[in-house]
Amino acid sequence: MELIKVGEKTYYIKNNTNIGIYKIDYQNVYIIDSGNDKEAGKKILKIINEQGWNVKGIISTHSNADHIGGNKLIQDRTSCDIFSYGIEKSFIENPILEPAFLYGGYPFDGIKNKFLLAKESTVKNIDGNLPEGLEYFNLKGHFFDMIGIKTSDDVYFIADSLFSEETITKYHLFFIYDVKEFLNTLELLKDLKGKLYIPSHCEAVEDISYLIEINKNKVHEIMNKICDICKEEITFEQILKRVFDEYGLTINANQYVLIGSTLKSYLSYLCDENKITYEFKDNQMIWKKV
């Protein structure tokens, strides 16, 4: 982990999940997200302690385990408050909801791991609780009520609203809960005016226009692929296999629920847009192109 200063009061820790830090005074800081597990939490605290700072609060942009994994350890050791928004608050306080939601039932042991199941922590609603110099804005699409954070240095922490070109090229599919809102968020990002943008899983950049376009293009590519697959009557499990096969990907338990849920979101969007439809035959749900 590397601490990088990007403004008078704004820093971030470069990591697999980038961690924001904002100084509210000479000694106290707010953290934006906390990494994927307690080990990440320990490393974050070590960096903060080396600077002589105290953690006053944690802002969780959303409830995915790789963003809240360090919450419990940091809260236990510092007694800091944690803030989040909307449905995300319930998921952070009850993290079993993430694997249960992704699977669509009680989660089996194979998906109750640190990548999908964090430790619970106590959370306050972010409304009215942010210090001067920080403001939040909605970034729906990737997850239910994900938010971004703007600092007084005109630095934007934009969570999982954008994925890197490397990730898109290698994996093609990235998790989306609501395709329509994800595309709306891409349009919102075009209008942001800041000095620096820090996605959670990308390099910090001064211009996000290229990232916006490659994310948007990939979403439309996947929609077209699904429509093409649905030219023949086909079940969801068959669609999942076809997509993995055609992109040369290998499925496992985590990917089954993450990408499976994402493909269902694509199917919902395409169905609501009257691009595909469904019917039930021989006790199977069948998808087909309109």
Q: What is the pLDDT of residues 5-34, one digit of tens each?
A: 999 999 999 999 999 999 999 999 999 999
Say what percent of the chain tops pLDDT 90.
100
- With bands split at pLDDT 50, 70 and 90, how would you rate the model's confidence at 83? very high
Q: Residue 277 has what pLDDT?
A: 98
* Entry pTM: 0.97
Query: pLDDT tens, 201-237?
Result: 999 999 999 999 999 999 999 999 999 999 999 999 9
Average pLDDT across the chain, whole number: 98
Using CA atoms, how far residue 208 sits from 100, 148, 167, 194, in Å, is 33, 14, 16, 10
Q: Residue 117 has what pLDDT?
A: 98
Q: Residue 246 has what pLDDT?
A: 97
- With bands split at pLDDT 50, 70 and 90, how would you rate the model's confidence at 123? very high
Q: Which residues contact 224 (CB under 8 A, 6 or more apart)?
A: none
Using CA atoms, how far residue 280 sits from 190, 283, 287, in Å, is 41, 6, 9
E strands present in the chain: 2-5, 10-14, 19-23, 28-32, 54-59, 81-84, 124-125, 134-138, 147-151, 155-157, 196-198, 276-281, 284-289
The mean per-residue pLDDT over the stretch 145-173 comes to 97
The mean per-residue pLDDT over the stretch 82-90 comes to 98
Q: Does domain 2-217 have CATH number 3.60.15.10?
A: yes
Q: Residue 182 has what pLDDT?
A: 98
Q: In the beta sheet, which residues pair with residue 156?
A: 150, 197
Domain locations in the chain as residue ranges? 2-217, 221-289
Given the candidates 2.30.110.10, 1.10.10.10, 3.40.470.10, 3.40.190.10, the CATH classification of the domain at 221-289 is 1.10.10.10
The mean per-residue pLDDT over the stretch 61-80 comes to 98
Residue-wise DSSP of 40-87: HHHHHHHHHHHTT-EEEEEE-S---HHHHTTHHHHHHHH--EEEE-TH
Domains 2-217 and 221-289 share a fold: no
The mean per-residue pLDDT over the stretch 24-51 comes to 97
- With bands split at pLDDT 50, 70 and 90, how would you rate the model's confidence at 162? very high
Query: pLDDT tens, 230-244?
Result: 999 999 999 999 999
User: 73, 37, 36: which is closest to 55 by C-alpha?
Assistant: 73
